[in-house]
Structure 1
Amino acid sequence: MALTKRKVLITGCSDDSMGSSLALAFHKAGYHVYATARDPNKMTQLKSQGIETLTLDTLSADSIAECVRKVPSLDILVNNAGRTFLMPVVDVNIAEAKKVYDLNVWSHIAVTQAFMPRILESKGTIVNQTSVGVTLTLPFQGVYNSSKAAMSMLSDTMRLELEPFGVKVVELRTGVVKTNLIKTMQNSTTTTIPEDSIYGPAKERIEKSLRQEQFENSGMPRQQWAEAIVRDLSRKPPQPVIWRGETAFLSWFLSLLPYGWSDGLVKKFSGLNDVAQILRK
């Protein structure tokens, strides 16, 4: 008798994303993959590989419920959908910032709650995508990194709360990976500070940092990252926190240092030193 394939559902699987790379890696490893995205027409790469694709808008209760109905059983849920956001905290548009939390935090909880009966039945695994930024104070990334930090704490809490049911919870603390995320961010969100910003004299340097130009050609190849994640998750049991991606080891190491010891490196890396010099003139 053939063994039943383990089933994994992944959110945020549009082409050239970390989600699509995870879907391909799980498929290659022999899993039955449910790859999901808000727009199914943006998963052509996965369809061509014979991967099952489903529509899932993680911000829509109706869409979530419809997706659950199409998935009879599930072993691993990967909450991967998300968006980035960069802006000095004092210049943040609150309405836009709330949208970041809606997608990066609350939608993950909503999807997890909806698929909980499937995960309980299989004594499965919930995987939450966060970031190495949950342990680093990075200028101009306060909203994004705090949303990931919130998801990190929620993951750790669920790890304890769901342990009595045999359910495992894993957090992916991902470093820099080569994806379309930066290009998508540049095309869909503002990278311009307000006209009345206190950072006005350093406008050009600030906006260069907001565009994340230094990362456009850097990062671990996304398929290499995804295959490493699948190996990590296939261990019995998987580690509760998985660090993968470029800068992941450095971020882990810096997280062990006393508070504030990494500030100098972070200021240089983020461009804040340049901004400070401009503002002091």
Structure 2
Amino acid sequence: MGQFASSERGHEGGPKSVLITGCSDGGLGAALATAFHNAGLHVYATARDVSKMKNLAASGIDTLELDVTSPSSIASCASKLPSLDILVNNAAVMLTMTAADVSVEEAKKLFDTNLWGTVRMCQAFLPLLIKSKGMIVNHTSIASVLPVPGGAAYAASKSALAMYSAILRMEVESFEVQVVDLKTGTVGPTNLINNNYTRTVTRADHSILPAGSCYQPAKDLLEPILRQDNFKGSGMRPAEWARAVTGDLLNNTRPPPLIFRGHYVILAKLAAWLPFGAMDGIVKKTTKFDQVDSVLRQLG
């Protein structure tokens, strides 16, 4: 049954159950589903398209259709579960663009998944979690505390989710329901970054910045940052990350309300502790935005 056998019994005597959103093969949700499955839990892996979870289904994991932006889809999924011990809100989309140029409509779509989708899920599954005295794990990001150029919309959604999680944690303690904010650093390769690249590079010439952007003079330096070229294939391996997170959540009688996992988490911790803006220079250099900054300042 795995290394967590002593803690994997649910409130009804059977194996603990966990539902994870955003589990398409190749993503962090799929890695978590596998890790929980290996730990002996009954895993419900979900995604908008069930056909994208073939590998999970082949390993014996239950796969369910679920679109976190659709209240009817969430209700349908919730009706299929007799009980639930852990809810992992992992589904997310990424959008990289300068704050001055980001599409408000695209940002709204991002918030609908990253923030409001999680809110919908928490509200829909809270009755089951109250019965089990269970746990909600909201997957935010180090981007919620570490400002990174090009990530304004994504970071804003994760920051909002982090504060929502902190308040939810206090509000549901009365029911003995735990809420964990999982802040992940760089993990790769994953669908999140790959799908973002596909959405970002849409023009025939593979350009990203809109024609009227004030960053056009530094376009050649900035666009690789927006494509996240420096982070493709880098970071902690997804399976390693998932095993560590599963251990964090199952090895403790009461997991900490804040968990950091992945590469660059030390930068996020420092950003949270140091005076505001103290990490700007390090972040600019790490992302190579310092080169963009230099070009723009010379023009000024």
Q: Report the equivalent of 1:214.
A: 230
| Offset, 1:217 | 2.2
Q: Report the equivalent of 1:242.
A: 259
Q: Report the equivalent of 1:125.
A: 135
Q: Report the equivalent of 1:181.
A: 192
User: Does residue 33 in structure 1 map to residue 43 in structure 2?
Assistant: yes
Q: Point out where structure 2 has 5 or more consecutive residues left out of the alignment.
A: 1-8, 202-206
Amino acid at match of 1:250: L
Matches within 5 A, 1:86-97: 86-97=96-107
User: Does residue 16 in structure 1 map to residue 26 in structure 2?
Assistant: yes
Amino-acid identity (%) = 46
Question: 1:265 aligned to 275, 278, 282, which one?
Answer: 282
**TM-score, scaled relative to structure 1:** 0.97
Q: Secondary structure at the match of 1:250?
A: helix
Distance in 2, Cα, partners of 1:122 & 1:201: 57
Distance in 1, Cα, partners of 2:32 & 2:216: 41
Q: Secondary structure at the match of 1:259?
A: coil
| Offset, 1:253 | 2.7
Equivalent pair of 2:96/2:196 in contact (CA under 8 Å): no
Q: Report the equivalent of 1:50.
A: 60
Greater Cα shift, 5-14 or 59-68: 59-68
How many residues are treated as equivalent by the alignment?
280
Q: Deviations over 1:195-241 (max 9, x none)?
A: 00001111121111110000012110101100111111111100000
User: Does residue 7 in structure 1 map to residue 23 in structure 2?
Assistant: no
Greater Cα shift, 178-187 or 77-86: 178-187
CA RMSD of aligned residues (A): 1.2
Q: Deviations over 1:171-215 (max 9, x none)?
A: 000000112321111112347111000011111211111100000
Q: Deviations over 1:19-48 (max 9, x none)?
A: 000000000000000000000000011011
Distance in 2, Cα, partners of 1:254 & 1:140: 17
Question: 2:158 aligned to 148, 157, 177, which one?
Answer: 148
| Offset, 1:7 | 0.3
Q: Report the equivalent of 1:60.
A: 70
Q: Deviations over 1:104-147 (max 9, x none)?
A: 00010001111111111101000000001111121111110010
Distance in 2, Cα, partners of 1:217 & 1:39: 25
Distance in 1, Cα, partners of 2:178 & 2:292: 44
Greater Cα shift, 259-268 or 155-164: 259-268
Q: Deviations over 1:80-120 (max 9, x none)?
A: 00011111111111100101110000010001111111111
Distance in 1, Cα, partners of 2:134 & 2:124: 14
Question: 1:137 aligned to 128, 140, 147, which one?
Answer: 147
Distance in 2, Cα, partners of 1:222 & 1:275: 31
Q: Secondary structure at the match of 1:50?
A: coil
Amino acid at match of 2:270: F
Amino acid at match of 2:193: I
Q: Secondary structure at the match of 1:128?
A: strand
Amino acid at match of 1:186: Y
- Superposition misfits of 4+ residues, deviation over 4 angstroms: none
Greater Cα shift, 200-209 or 235-244: 200-209
Q: Deviations over 1:32-82 (max 9, x none)?
A: 000000000000110110000000011111111110111110000000000
| Offset, 1:248 | 1.3
Q: Report the equivalent of 2:5.
A: none
Q: Secondary structure at the match of 2:14?
A: coil
**TM-score, scaled relative to structure 2:** 0.91
Q: Secondary structure at the match of 1:77?
A: strand
User: Does residue 73 in structure 1 map to residue 83 in structure 2?
Assistant: yes
Q: Secondary structure at the match of 2:88?
A: strand
